[in-house]
Structure 1
Amino acid sequence: MHARALAATTTALLAGAVLTLAAPGAHADDGGAPPVVIAHRGASAYAPENTLPAIDKAAALGFRWVENDVQRTKDGRLVVIHDDSLKRTTNVEDVFPDRAPWKVKDFTYAEIARLDAGSWFGPEYVGTRVPTLAEYMRRVEHNHQNLLLELKNPEFYPGIEQQTLKVLANAGWLDAPHVAGRLVVQSFNADSVRTVHQLKPAVKTGFLGTPNLTDLPGYAGFVDQINPTYGSISASYVNAVHALAGAHGAPLEVSTWTVDDAASAKKVVGYGVDGIISNKPDVVRAALQE
């Protein structure tokens, strides 16, 4: 069964509106279900991105889907952080001033655990840490949330696909209910996405980007979603994606990013997208409810 139908079993009642993945062929522009709203790096406009407070904030706002980024430390631990450098979102320059350019892959987890990943955002988040993927998964499960997981810079981390799947398995996230409607693994790296599909065919996968229309059939063999930036798409592009069957035999889906204002949200709804990834998911939700 297509995940857009399966997701109907895991909807959230949000201010009187149910936000789910649309059923196959049913899009917002033709009277179908509205697109699912996905909190980008958690509710990252309101809490430090890719931290436990960010996904807690998304949960408090009523959002079931969150997105994150996964990388690997020097000693092989998977951590949730977006940039390949620790500089922007931690106090690494203060703690380790002589180790520029402060790449994630050059620090052990024990070193990263010493860093403050919240004070850059606001004083109320002082002491927030970079979570491990295992810690993050426990909190997502505790919050009854669903996850769009991005393998970030997999070319830096050989074998990260198998390692990520192992962490997900240990967390109980590769059983039938989770893979049916609660998990998508995506990346900008097509080879990485293909590897995930080969290692665990049951898992839904997505490619981040806007492939040429002529290239879409090649992606359809190993992905279920094409997830482009919202400025790169049109209604005709979304229709072309939907016309192809993905890796699990259902129409390819489109989740677009990063939409943070009402006008853009309404525009992509008109295109018929299946998901909207946003730093301000409450703004997008309000636009969809108008």
Structure 2
Amino acid sequence: MRSRTAAVTSVALSTAAALLVPAAAQTATAAEVRPRVSGHRGAAGYAPENTLPSFDKADALGVDWVETDVQRTRDGELILLHDRDLRRTTNVETVFPSRANRAVGDFTAAELARLDAGSWKGAPFAGTRIPTLSQTLDRLDRNGQNLLLEIKQPDLHPGIEGDILDVLARKGWLDENHVRNRLTVMSFGTNSVRTIHQKRPDLMTSVLVSSRPSLSALRGYATYADQVNPDYRQVSGDFVATVHALKGAHGKRLETVPWVVNTASAARTVAGWGVDGMTSDLPDVVDKALG
């Protein structure tokens, strides 16, 4: 059973949606828009997440957009990893047993380069390394893929926003084509998203949320973000309508791209609510389900 707070929030969003968006418009949105499907951490259902083989697998599946997570090493290198520590996706317990539970930022880039980030997913991926952001941008350019870049745990990496923008600029990812068509920067850290928007107001930005935000929170996010992206299990038609009734940081309709949809039935349900996109570990399964 939902808590009283969740129930009140649901009623508030439902009421706001009814006031802000005509029912006919809600129906048209759900019926006419086909959500964009993006590969979560590459194609994480098939290859070790946040690695070059995972992005290549997504490319082989015909996936144009991929999502990944960026953190910073102790010596300032930007690398791809989701978790706070390295135990789940690398052999850190073998290579650095006394430091296995330490955060990513406690290791140098050279130390991380010694780790196997693929064997946990299967023998064919043995020896896969943790890629740097620079290496990833090169690979995505080679593949012709686009990027949803999540700043992971920004409170553990003060100033990482400027470092990310420096790498993006150096690799040519802040030109007009990339900025307009191929790049979105996002985070659960709202201050981090706001910082990116302040430093590069031309960039598309997204706020990630674990629970469904209130209408007042959505209005706040819309001042510096173009998307608000929740867990897909927090989404409903009323929520989507409420989001779409607002204008984001660039004066266009605020969007919502839920995460992480991995079944055909969930994809069809979420698409029916009129979402703008979704991420998936199995992007081919979801794409096929949408027809």
In 2: Cα distance, 1:278 partner to 1:27 partner: 25
Corresponding letter in the other structure for 2:97: P
In 1: Cα distance, 2:49 partner to 2:117 partner: 9
In 1: Cα distance, 2:62 partner to 2:274 partner: 23
- Return the TM-score normalized by structure 2: 0.89
Could you tell me which of 279, 282, 285 is aligned with 2:284?
282
- Taking the TM superposition and a 5 Å limit, the aligned residue runs for 1:1-290 are 29-209=29-209, 210-289=212-291
In 2: Cα distance, 1:102 partner to 1:249 partner: 42
Corresponding letter in the other structure for 1:91: N
In 1: Cα distance, 2:55 partner to 2:131 partner: 12
Displacement, 1:275? 0.6
Offset from partner CA, 1:54-91 (integer Å, 9 cap, x none): 00000000000000000010111100010010111000
Displacement, 1:31? 3.7
Query: Equivalent residue of 1:163, what SS?
Result: helix
Larger helix percent: 2
In 2: Cα distance, 1:153 partner to 1:30 partner: 33
Counterpart in 2 of 1:17? none
Counterpart in 2 of 1:19? none
Q: State percent identity of aligned pairs.
A: 55
In 1: Cα distance, 2:221 partner to 2:107 partner: 34
- Return the TM-score normalized by structure 1: 0.89
Displacement, 1:255? 0.4
Answer whether contact 2:255 2:275 (CA < 8 A) is retained: yes
RMSD: 1.3
Larger Rg: 2
Offset from partner CA, 1:90-129 (integer Å, 9 cap, x none): 0010001111313101100000000000001000000100
In 2: Cα distance, 1:246 partner to 1:61 partner: 31
Structure with greater contact order relative to length (CA < 8 Å, sep ≥ 6): 2
Going from structure 1 to structure 2, the CA distance change for 1:28 and 1:137 (only over 3 Å counts) comes to: farther
In 2: Cα distance, 1:112 partner to 1:150 partner: 20
Corresponding letter in the other structure for 1:166: D
The number of aligned residues is 265
Going from structure 1 to structure 2, the CA distance change for 1:120 and 1:30 (only over 3 Å counts) comes to: closer
In 1: Cα distance, 2:88 partner to 2:40 partner: 17
Which blocks of at least 5 consecutive residues in structure 1 are unaligned?
1-24
Which blocks of at least 5 consecutive residues in structure 2 are unaligned?
1-24
Answer whether contact 2:81 2:130 (CA < 8 A) is retained: yes
